[in-house]
Amino acid sequence: MNNPFRPDKTDLEILRLLEQDGRMPHKVIAQHVHKSITPIHSRLAKLQNEGYIRRFTALLNPRKIGRGLTAYTQVILKVHSQESLENFMKQAEKINEVMECYHLTGAFDFLLRITIRDMDAYNELLLKKLSNLPEVAQMQTSFVISEAKYNTAYFYSRSDE
């Protein structure tokens, strides 16, 4: 009988270290967790294969790449059938400016996080893409004025504990 994989303290520490620096060399990780490099390779492969690590990526500064305006758009669909929900999600995935798409409970069906250059770019996105989605009944958008907190890490760094 297969036992489900459960990460141990060392695995969780490896995940914490990678959240702080995804490019951290395996040698440095090994030093932090007091293991040799070989078990670190094995543990990382296991964590990836088991889906604990989705992917490795760089976090870009949206302002530096011309995507400095962030909008949160709440969407209500006309129909709440499985087909309508799935169609909307497929269409939202195709829009490059949509960074995140969440299906919600409550007053709105979906929440989209959108990053764009400026208000003119949002207007173009609204007119040419969002308002043309056949499933959409209503949208309400809020624009980010300032960012009080932005974090991508699920684990706290040692200095925060």
pLDDT, tens digit, 9 for 90 and up, residues 54-96: 999 999 999 999 999 999 999 999 999 999 999 999 999 999 9
Confirm whether 14 is domain-assigned.
yes
Burial class, 51, CB count within 10 angstroms (exposed 0-12 / middle 13-18 / buried 19+): exposed
Confirm whether 74 is domain-assigned.
yes
> Based on the domain organization, do 31 and 78 belong to the same domain?
no
Q: Is 66 left (phi over 0), alpha (psi -120 to 50) or beta?
A: left
Which range of residues forms the domain containing residue 80?
69-143
Confirm whether 96 is domain-assigned.
yes
- What is the residue whose two structure tokens read 């949509």? 98
pTM: 0.85
> Based on the domain organization, do 116 and 75 belong to the same domain?
yes
Which segments within 46-151 are labelled E, that is strand?
69-77, 98-103, 110-116, 136-143
CATH number, domain containing residue 90: 3.30.70.920
Higher pLDDT, 73 or 159: 73
> Based on the domain organization, do 120 and 89 belong to the same domain?
yes
Q: How many domains does the chain have?
A: 2
| CA pair distance 94, 39, nearest whole angstrom | 40
